[in-house]
Amino acid sequence: MNKSYYNASNRAGIRHPVQYNANMRRRVQKPALRRAQTTRRRTHVSVYIARYILLLVIYLALLGVSALGITMLLRVNVGGEPFGLTEAARMASPAVPAPVMGAVDEEEYVQAAISGVTFKLDLSELEEYMNPSDRDAYIKLINQTYKLDKDYKPDDLVSAPFVRSGVQSPYLRLYAAKALEAMLSEAYANGCSTGLTVTSCYRSYDYQQFLYDYRVSVYAYLGEEEAKKKAATIVAIPGQSEHQSGLAVDIHTLSSADEVFENTFEFQWLKENAWKFGFILRYPKDKTHITGIIYEPWHYRYVGRYHAFKIYESGLTLEEYCEQTGLGLE
């Protein structure tokens, strides 16, 4: 052992020189270790920041591309038309662009749309019934304000097509019956179930009274006045029912009419295509405050293709449409 070192360490009061030497080395190494650790931490932070910036750049780039794609999609469809029209209108008249202010007259646009309808089946023999020459003949409004007389009965009732057995008075007015024949035939050709059939059509005033009275009895526990109010939202009061006109029909695939029908393929097809045959969904969703009748996805009303297209395209109820046009209010 180095004597001088021993003496120095001994003078310093250190009994274990070897341990002293190790401690000294650690003291010397600690700053270097700290510097190395700091450098590593900075390096890791820099890497994380670089990765974050790279991911942010990629995200912004993808966002920009998506926005551009959506913008172009909203402006142009596959055929190059503006998306201002409904899908049904484009299917009906793919060559007719949406009306542009000052460029296309609204009447010309409607005429082009309703005359450009095509079907899978050859329905040419039924075309005159779907698109009657007297386009205003079937646009009469029937509701709580505009009522039918007790003795009213159409003089052109014929047997309705595709009626379920047991249906009371299975009749419709001629034009409505023929247009319905075309609609359900085309529906079957497009994949709708043959279970899509007529469950109610023409009803006399007396039969409507029977149905209404029964519904009132169901809600008798509410008290007479409330029972009548509740019943009237489900079954029209006699004289206020479209069924008495012979122009309304209930069609669905269920054992009994129910709102769940809206979840079926058949309803979706009818909702998008009924106008082509001259029918409208008479009591749409969230329109009870206007029609006074609950949402009925099974109830369709014949008005002729011209008015059916305009009502479908505008999203109006028959009440709103008649009030705006002044038609059907007599």
Residues with Cβ within 8 Å of 139's Cβ and at least 6 positions away in sequence, in order, are 303, 304, 307, 322, 327, 328
259 given a catalytic annotation: no
Contact predicate 77/70, CB 8 Å: no
Asked whether the beta carbons of 146 and 329 are under 8 A apart, the reply is: yes
Catalytic residue among 81, 181, 242, 296: 296
The answer to whether the beta carbons of residues 96 and 111 sit under 8 Å apart is no
Q: Chain-centre distance of CA 9, in angstroms? A: 92
Contacts of 303 (CB under 8 A, 6+ apart): 138, 139, 247, 278, 279, 280, 311, 318
Pair 235, 212: CB distance under 8 Å: yes
The single residue listed with the structure tokens 């484009």 is: 90
Cα 76 from Cα 180, distance rounded (Å):
35
Catalytic residues: 296
